[in-house]
Amino acid sequence: MNKLIALGFILGIAATAAFAAKPDLDYERLRASLDSLGADPALGKLAPGERTLAEQAVQALVADKSGGKDGRAFRVYMAERRVDIAYAAAQAASQQNKLDALSREHDRILLQAAQREAETARAEAERQRLQNMIRAEEVDRLRAEGEQSAQEAQAAQAQADQAQKLIAAQSRATELARKEAQLAEAANSDLRRRLNNLTATRGAEGMQMTLDDIAFAPGQANLRPAAKASLGKLIAFVNRDPSKPIRIEGHTDSSGNTHANQLLSQRRADAVRDALVAAGVAASRITAVGMGEGQPVADNSTEEGRARNRRVDVIVEDK
């Protein structure tokens, strides 16, 4: 009987050990999904902020055993959502990178096209000038020789005049193309200048810098390529004290739908957060919040006031 009791005790211990060693299938599944995202050559380095949050949620499955069955189910649910969001954010960032590349290529092609059109217009203007000269000489010759009636001479003169008008029109088109290219470059130059001249001011929650509406395409949440390349002063500002948390607040004016403004302000705040994380700022320091139209700093009844209200505040919060 004592042997049977001992055997039962040993089997009980073995069963308990086997149960304790049972693998955490939820953790392994989500861990594998995150590892797969990190190893993806196209997506692995994108959306670092969302990936960090997903990593924290997955690690919580093994680090936090409190809360019982319900608490465990909630942590699994949150980890799954965070992994899904990380994938979605990485895919969205990948698409945005492609759009940025296409935008830069589009600008380059437009500039080259304008240059080619200008060159073609100059060549055509020269050809028309020579033809006009030949026609004028022909008119003079025919008049001198008396071989052309007054009506024919007038027709030839009208043709020469028309050719001159065509030259003038082509010259104007060339000038317009040149001015368009200059305006695009001037806008990018102004954007870079304004970002390089950002200054920190004292706010209610700490020191802050403000990106105004020019950093974004009209009505869009994506930073312009020239803005992404000119955030050095902002990055240096938030890195002065790496121990302090960063709060990014997106704001809009009161134009349009309130819900749409809320979403736009959140997406713009997220875009600035992702740009800072991509530049090496720790994602764990950053909170991105969309404030919508609710905190204007100027009168929304004027265009100047609305432009001031469309902004993103980057705040280094006081501890």
Identify the CATH number of the domain in which residue 293 sits. 3.30.1330.60
Does 144 reside within a domain?
A: yes
What is the C-alpha to C-alpha distance for residues 68 and 79, in angstroms, rounded to an integer? 17
pLDDT at 14: 45
Does 136 reside within a domain?
A: yes
Residues 207 and 308 in one domain: yes
pLDDT at 121: 80
pLDDT at 142: 64
Per-residue pLDDT of the chain (319 residues; tens, 9 = 90+): 455 455 555 545 544 444 445 678 889 999 999 999 889 998 988 888 898 998 898 998 888 777 678 888 898 998 899 999 989 988 988 888 888 888 888 888 887 887 888 788 888 888 888 888 888 887 677 677 776 666 766 776 888 788 778 777 777 777 777 776 676 677 778 888 988 888 999 988 999 999 998 999 888 999 999 998 889 999 999 999 999 999 999 999 999 999 999 999 999 999 999 999 999 999 999 999 999 999 999 999 999 999 999 999 999 999 7
Residues 158 and 210 in one domain: no
Residues 78 and 119 in one domain: no
Domain count, the chain: 3
Q: Is 24 helix (H, G, I), strand (E, B) or coil?
A: coil
| Other Cβ atoms closer than 10 A to 209 | 19
Does 285 reside within a domain?
A: yes
Q: Is 277 helix (H, G, I), strand (E, B) or coil?
A: helix
Return the half-sphere exposure (C-beta side, CA atoms, 13 A cut-off) of residue 157: 11
Domain containing residue 161: 113-196
Does 108 reside within a domain?
A: no
Residues 178 and 207 in one domain: no
Residue 246 is encoded by which pair of tokens?
């960063």
Residues 66 and 29 in one domain: yes
Q: What is the pTM of this model?
A: 0.54
Q: Are 269 and 289 in contact (CB under 8 A)?
A: yes
- Rounded to the nearest 10°, the torsion over CA 296, 299, 300, 304 is -110
Residues 191 and 213 in one domain: no
Exposure b/e, 254-287, CB count within 10 A at least 16 = b = eeeeeeebbebbbbbbbbbbbbbbbeebbbebbe
Does 264 reside within a domain?
A: yes
Q: Which domain-ending residue is among 43, 69, 95?
A: 95
Does 171 reside within a domain?
A: yes
Does 191 reside within a domain?
A: yes
Residues 66 and 148 in one domain: no
Residues 232 and 287 in one domain: yes
Q: Which domain-ending residue is among 65, 95, 125?
A: 95
Does 103 reside within a domain?
A: no
Residues 302 and 245 in one domain: yes
Q: Which domain-ending residue is among 143, 162, 196?
A: 196
